[in-house]
Amino acid sequence: MNKVFILLLILLTACSSGAADEVSAPEISVASDTAASDSGSESSAADSASDASGAVDFLLEAWADNWFAAYLENDLIVEDSVSITTERSFNAETASFSSSYPLQLNFILKDFKENDTGLEYIGANNQQMGDGGFIFQITDQATGAVVAVSSSAMSCLVIHEAPLDKACESSNDPQAGVGACTFSASEESAGWKAADYDDSAWFSANVYSESAVGPKDGYDQIDWAANAELIWGPDLETSNTILCRLTVIAP
């Protein structure tokens, strides 16, 4: 009888151990399913983020006295269709482009000058220093929302200034670099169109009224946003070539 009792105890112990194994297996399976579910959620979130950062179709509208070129970082968006060598160039330009945020917008702005004196109509009765002006706006074509405008938020740098002495304007024989007709000129800074370029030493764009700039020929063809402003360098007359930057983040 003792041997039978011992055998029964062994059988009961084995059955109890097997039942424990059967219970533990589903727990591992559930943990594995949960991990797969979390992974799927992360993938779905990543897909949504990717969709949200897709390209947007934009419309750039701009007017310049006398000439401009607009870039998305180093890529040209549009260049004024009227050459800077044209003495009286006042016209608006529009261009479409696609990009994702943030937008690194870069502009080269030029006022007409005959030479490094900074003057125009040289030798004529109306010999004078020219004056400049620029305005732009960018619209999300899907929503109609204006997402960027010209304003004092832009960082700018004058790379050609002339004449440094405004007495040059009344000179009978204005010659660049001679007497009152001195000038300052520098090359574009290397890499200035890059998103990570340090423009902390640049000045904020100067804002001018319509009466100060006197915009014409194409300016009124565009329905400007209320916050789009006419900008230029520190001096409408002597700031001849200007570089400007603006970073636009998603609204």
* In the chain, domain spans: 1-52, 56-248
The arithmetic mean of pLDDT across residues 87-110, rounded, is: 94
Which of 211, 247, 249, 217 minimizes the C-alpha distance to 230? 211
Would you place residue 14 in the very low, low, confident or very high pLDDT band (cuts 50, 70, 90)?
very low
Q: For the segment 18-54, what is each residue's pLDDT rounded down to a tens digit?
A: 444 443 333 333 333 333 334 444 433 333 333 455 8
Residue range 147-173: average pLDDT? Answer: 98
Average pLDDT, stretch 145-170? 98
Nearest to 163 by CA among 111, 208, 126: 111
Question: What percent of the chain is helix, strand and coil (3-state, nearest 5)?
Answer: 25, 30, 45
Give the helix ranges, DSSP H, for 81-217. Answer: 210-213
Sign of the dihedral defined by the CA atoms of residues 82, 87, 89, 95, in that order: positive
Q: Among the listed ranges 4-8, 58-62, 90-94, 247-251, which one has the minimum average pLDDT value?
A: 4-8
Q: So what's the pLDDT on residue 20?
A: 42
- pLDDT at position 247: 98
Is it true that the peptide bond before 102 is cis, omega within 30 degrees of 0?
yes
- pLDDT, tens digit (0-9, with 9 covering 90-100), for 161-189: 999 999 999 999 999 999 999 999 999 99
Q: Residues with Cβ < 8 Å from 150, sequence gap 6 or more? A: 134, 135, 136, 137, 205, 228, 229, 230, 231
Neighbours of 181 (CB within 10 A): 23
pLDDT classification of 87: cutoffs 50, 70, 90: confident
Amino acid at 228: A
Predicted confidence band of residue 147 (pLDDT cuts 50, 70, 90): very high
User: Distance between CA atoms of 103 and 59, rounded to whole angstroms?
Assistant: 13
Collapsing DSSP to helix, strand or coil, 237 comes out as coil
Model confidence at 88, in pLDDT bands (50, 70, 90)?
confident
State residue 52's pLDDT score: 53
Specify the pTM.
0.78
Mean pLDDT confidence for 53-82: 95
Mean pLDDT of the chain: 85
